[in-house]
Structure 1
Amino acid sequence: MTPAHALEDRAMGALIGAFIGDALALGPHWYYDLDQLHADYGQWINDYTTPKPGRYHAGMQAGQLSQSGILLRLTVQSLVDSGSYDQADFCRRMDNELFPQLDGTPMNGPGGYTSQSIREAWRRRVKSGLPWGQIAGNADTTEAAERILAIAIRYALQPAQLASAVSRNTALTQTDGTVMAMTVAFGAVLGMLVEGQALDANISGKLMARVKSGELPFHTVTSGNLQAPQAGQPEAPTTGRFPSPDALLSQSSIALAATDPDIHIDPAWKVSLVYGLPCAAYHQFPAAYYLAARFHDDFESAVLHAINGGGQNQSRAILAGALTGAQTGLSGIPQRFLDGLENSGELLDLAGRLAKQMVEQPVVEEAG
């Protein structure tokens, strides 16, 4: 592949990988009793499945997207139609395309379930009539990360713009500062993988170099490889900083753990037990990083171990699918996952358009 084609392949792999991860989890989503998961779906889930009656997403069919996937598609559509991240366009789409289908209850809405942060945003926006900018809530989930990954792909070659656009979009629905920092960090990591960087022991150092250069908005006072600052050394020249760079530092340690011969998590799906089954960002991001580092060249293993770990396996699979798809490229994703994904042709077209925008870098001003 030429460099441009390789970039496009990785960008498309990241986006399609996320859609596949979302759809794979539709049936076995949110089983906290792993014995019940195995009773319903067998010892190993290896394909798209239909949700059981009475479960989350009941009534939907194998290969369809949950609301997380639908929101990701909405975000991609806004990006490709606008040519860049246009926050006003994104908000109009939320007002016109998503919110009219919600009623504020969990088990309703497109995709069969509406997350806490979207329910809170709907109540403030629709029921209370508050403007965008005043409707975010304090949910500690990865809901925003699951849609901003499209923004991270679009700006993968422009890390400062990536951080700005991801921060602004995340702030529409999330107020928790730690969750915001972890979400921006995820976007920065994904962007680096789309660039062609490796998810290995060196990635945190590369991220910190971007903090030092002012491209990533994290506070830091250390020098070199997290060494003590020298006397008179100024802080990194960033504004709007997150209070510490810690959200950028765990990835290298996790990547080391994934390849350390003295550390055994076997089978790999049990990483969900190590980091936790629940929905919070501090459970989900580490498990996704681990699977993406361990199976950096094996998309199928990464997403299937994410799914078979139970709990909030949908978020785990979306995040791991994006990270691993960025490493394998679309060309490394098994065809059977594309064949079973509903509307895969439409999603591939959107992914291709987004990837071309990323490579061609049209000079378009970001809108508010």
Structure 2
Amino acid sequence: METQVKSSATADGLRDRALGALMGAFIGDALGVGPHWYYDLDQMVADYGPWIDSYTRPKPGRYHEGVEPGQPSQSGILLEMTLRSLVDCGGYDETDFCRRLDAELFPQLDGTSMNGPGGYTSQSIRDAWRNRFQEGLDWGKFGSDVDNTEAAERIIAIAVRYALNPAKLAWAVTANTALTQTNGNVLTTTTTYGAVLGMLVEGHQLDTDISDKLMERIKADTRISRFNSSVQPLHAAAQGRVEAEKNTDCVPCMEAFFSSHDALVTPSGVVRAAHDSAIRIEPASKVSVLYGLPCAVHHQFPAAYYLTARFPDDFESAVLHALNGGGQNQARAMLTGALSGAMVGLSGIPRRFIDGLERAEVLLALAERLVDDMQSQAQRNYSHGYFIDERRCP
């Protein structure tokens, strides 16, 4: 039997789950680099064989050409950038995050898709680059209507960091998403995904009760988020506005102004389908055909929920079925990798996926520092009885 990676704190389930979510996302991203965006599934089989089970090299002339097996796409690079910002600042600092985009990413872009770190730049990032570098607009004054999962891929680190503070998780995920995407459906589904991921890191199961738990957090009527409370605000950013709540000492509970609450109901419905013996998708990778091969959030999130629920104890099966589904499989594998990694923990991720991931030791060290911050902040807050706002970069 293949050996498993062990967390540095094997007795700490929370730590194991948090590290699993982060490393699972990096693994899913890198797995998708080679066979990314094959809408002709027969061609994908012709190029890579009937089942892809490891890191691969992109074929000449395709997306990410020149990226080596185990290296990240730009999505993985952005996730690491977000992770570094969280670690360096001790929490989410929007000014620092935007500075990193301006200084580290945007100078490497030229506004075209087949360019930039990772070999491809998504539409929402290209739009942000034009608004900043060509139009000179301030952050917070623009946002793309593109409905892809670009923001969802980087907020994974934010969701893990604030898994024990649902109020701050919802605010920070929504605010960060709105920097590049202001589509109402993107904001609600991305924040819901972040909330689900946070709950899995907490220790909840991805089961048919998950949506009811989310709804209960929405309904909670309190102004201050307390340790392990039920507060889960998803606020006015869904209407294109992110209120300037971040400078307060405590995180206020913001009202839920969803354009629709359907995003909250979706996870349990998908889980029910995954567990219903009368509904069988075989192989499970065909879930991509059912929900849709393209990039939009309404194709990607249900497939990620389904595969995680279908293989609750099996990271390899969940992520590889996401990968072998074709289409926007890089995002599907990344989103599934985070959810499944939170379910099984770092200790449940097969060693070969860590060994084949470039700079795995660096990424794991960053993840460890983030989890250290999460746990130490939770301990301080527990002693005070409430969550105070995190410190910020100088």
Instruction: Please state whether the residue corresponding to 2:286 is helix, strand or coil.
Output: helix
Q: Which residue identity lines up with residue 390 of structure 2 in the other structure?
A: E
Please report the TM-score for the alignment, with normalisation by the length of structure 1.
0.93
Q: Deviations over 1:75-110 (max 9, x none)?
A: 000000100100000001111100010000000000
- Any residues of structure 2 matched to 1:312-351 within 5 Å, and which? 312-351=328-367
Q: Deviations over 1:13-43 (max 9, x none)?
A: 0000000000001000000000000000000
Q: Which residue of 1 aligns with 2:104?
A: 97
My pick for the range that moved more, 33-42 or 242-251, is: 242-251
CA contact 1:218–1:243 (8 Å) conserved in 2: no
Q: Which residue of 2 aligns with 1:84?
A: 91
Q: Which residue of 1 aligns with 2:36?
A: 29
Q: Which residue of 1 aligns with 2:69?
A: 62
Q: Which residue identity lines up with residue 99 of structure 1 in the other structure?
A: F
Q: Which residue of 1 aligns with 2:390?
A: 365
- Any residues of structure 2 matched to 1:215-294 within 5 Å, and which? 215-218=231-234, 238-239=254-255, 241-294=257-310
CA contact 1:83–1:364 (8 Å) conserved in 2: no
Deviation of residue 365 (structure 1)?
3.3
Q: Does 1:310 align with 2:335?
A: no
Q: Which residue identity lines up with residue 203 of structure 1 in the other structure?
A: I
Structure 1 consecutive aligned stretches of length 4 or more whose deviation exceeds 3 Å: 1-4, 362-368
Deviation of residue 366 (structure 1)?
5.9
Q: Which residue identity lines up with residue 94 of structure 2 in the other structure?
A: Q
List runs of 5+ in structure 1 lacking aligned partners: 220-236
Q: Which residue of 1 aligns with 2:238?
A: none
Deviation of residue 355 (structure 1)?
1.3
Q: Deviations over 1:310-365 (max 9, x none)?
A: 00000100000000000000000000000000000001101111111111216553
Q: Which residue identity lines up with residue 212 of structure 2 in the other structure?
A: G
Q: Does 1:169 align with 2:194?
A: no
CA contact 1:275–1:286 (8 Å) conserved in 2: yes
CA contact 2:288–2:325 (8 Å) conserved in 1: yes
Please report the TM-score for the alignment, with normalisation by the length of structure 2.
0.87
Structure 1 pair 243/4, CA: closer, same or farther in 2 (3 Å)?
farther
* Distance in 1 between residues matched to 2:309 and 2:390, nearest whole Å: 35
Deviation of residue 216 (structure 1)?
2.6
Q: RMSD value over aligned CA atoms? A: 1.6
Q: How many residues align?
A: 351
Q: Which residue identity lines up with residue 195 of structure 1 in the other structure?
A: E
Instruction: Please state whether the residue corresponding to 1:303 is helix, strand or coil.
Output: helix
CA contact 1:18–1:320 (8 Å) conserved in 2: yes
Q: Which residue of 2 aligns with 1:223?
A: none
Deviation of residue 218 (structure 1)?
4.7
Within the candidate set 189, 196, 218, 1:211 is matched to 218
Aligned-residue identity in percent: 65
Q: Which residue identity lines up with residue 44 of structure 2 in the other structure?
A: L
Within the candidate set 145, 153, 161, 1:146 is matched to 153
Instruction: Please state whether the residue corresponding to 2:215 is helix, strand or coil.
Output: helix
- Any residues of structure 2 matched to 1:294-305 within 5 Å, and which? 294-305=310-321
Q: Which residue identity lines up with residue 111 of structure 2 in the other structure?
A: G
Structure 1 pair 132/218, CA: closer, same or farther in 2 (3 Å)?
closer
CA contact 2:143–2:180 (8 Å) conserved in 1: yes
Within the candidate set 205, 208, 225, 1:201 is matched to 208
Q: Deviations over 1:216-259 (max 9, x none)?
A: 3358xxxxxxxxxxxxxxxxx85252233221111111111111
Instruction: Please state whether the residue corresponding to 2:12 is helix, strand or coil.
Output: helix
CA contact 1:269–1:309 (8 Å) conserved in 2: yes
Instruction: Please state whether the residue corresponding to 1:249 is helix, strand or coil.
Output: helix
* Distance in 1 between residues matched to 2:149 and 2:390, nearest whole Å: 28
* Distance in 1 between residues matched to 2:32 and 2:75, nearest whole Å: 11
Q: Does 1:356 align with 2:363?
A: no
Q: Which residue identity lines up with residue 365 of structure 1 in the other structure?
A: E
Within the candidate set 192, 195, 209, 1:185 is matched to 192
CA contact 2:146–2:183 (8 Å) conserved in 1: yes
List runs of 5+ in structure 2 lacking aligned partners: 1-6, 222-230, 236-252, 381-387
* Distance in 1 between residues matched to 2:120 and 2:210, nearest whole Å: 35
Deviation of residue 3 (structure 1)?
9.4
* Distance in 1 between residues matched to 2:213 and 2:10, nearest whole Å: 21
Deviation of residue 295 (structure 1)?
0.8
